[in-house]
Amino acid sequence: MSHAADFPYPVPEPGTEPFWEGCNAERLLMQRCNACRKLRWHPAPLCIWCQHEEHEWVPVSGRGRIHTWTVITHPVHPAAVDHVPYVVVEVALDEQSDLRMVSNLVDCDPVDIVMDAAVEVCFRRHASGQKLPVFRLVHRNT
């Protein structure tokens, strides 16, 4: 299938390279503050909780639950014409209740989405070659 355009994607900036390299290795990495030890999304030079400067990159499970979502039915970019409807989701990651990440929910019918549904990360390659983290529904008992 040919597309009139490709979706834009985030250009790695200084300080975010570990995140994007992690995606290319299909690992979801988050910054963890060296002072308060909280994880944060998205990458930032200062801790969003305590403003401390030092952090380390740590892998997270990529598992979480749907906090909220929306179904995009109107293409807002030429590349989206062949992709609507698609789902934008905010995931509350399992590691920390206030660690939330915005992404796409893939491989599902929007009518099957419910609040608090379990999801897990997977990675899709953008036309540029960069892999992007997206989520899919999973079925688990906990």
Distance CA 12, CA 111 (A): 34
119: number of Cβ within 10 Å: 24
Q: For residues 47 and 119, which CB has a smaller minimum distance to Zn ion in the complex?
A: 47
Number of amino acids touching Zn ion (CB under 5 A): 7
- Asked if 132 touches Zn ion (CB under 5 A), the answer is no
Q: Which two tokens stand for residue 18?
A: 């570990």
Residue 78 is classified by DSSP as G
Return the residue of 29, 47, 60, 137 that touches Zn ion, per CB under 5 A: 47
| Residue found by looking up tokens 């999304």 in the block | 41
Q: For residues 9 and 49, which CB has a smaller minimum distance to Zn ion in the complex?
A: 49
Q: For residues 32 and 63, which CB has a smaller minimum distance to Zn ion in the complex?
A: 32
Residue numbers at the binding site for Zn ion (CB under 5 A):
33, 35-36, 47, 49-50, 52
